[in-house]
């Protein structure tokens, strides 16, 4: 979607995550939606009870938490 929007082929609705380079280069412009009635998006990781730690899931969560903290995005790590 970002590449189509960058070419002027469409308007894309997405978060700033994943388009940092295009924003920095001025190829795309981020305009936050102003409708306060829109539901908040949430990223959820769900695991079976007693399944034990999964190294790939733990690594993914570390990356996500680091990324969001760096951008000062609120994080709820409710288990």
Region 7-27 average pLDDT = 85
Q: Give 25's pLDDT tier (boundaries 50, 70, 90).
A: very high
CA distance 54 to 39: 30
Greater model confidence, 40 or 30: 30
Question: Which sign, positive or negative, has the C-alpha torsion 20, 25, 27, 33?
Answer: positive
pTM of the model as a whole: 0.50
Which residue is associated with the tokens 């936050």? 32
Q: What are the pLDDT digits (tens) for 38-79?
A: 777 777 777 777 777 788 888 988 888 888 787 776 666 665
DSSP letter assigned to residue 4: H
CA distance 79 to 65: 14
CA distances from 61 to 22, 27, 44, 74 (A): 25, 29, 10, 15
């Amino acid at each position: 979607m970002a590449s189509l929007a960058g070419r002027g082929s469409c308007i894309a609705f997405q978060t700033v995550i994943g388009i940092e380079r295009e924003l920095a280069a001025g190829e795309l412009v981020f305009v936050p939606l102003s409708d306060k009635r829109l539901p908040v998006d949430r990223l959820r990781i769900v695991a079976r009870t007693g399944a034990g730690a999964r190294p790939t899931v733990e690594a993914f969560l570390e990356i996500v938490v680091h990324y969001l903290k760096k951008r000062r995005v609120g994080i709820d790590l409710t288990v």
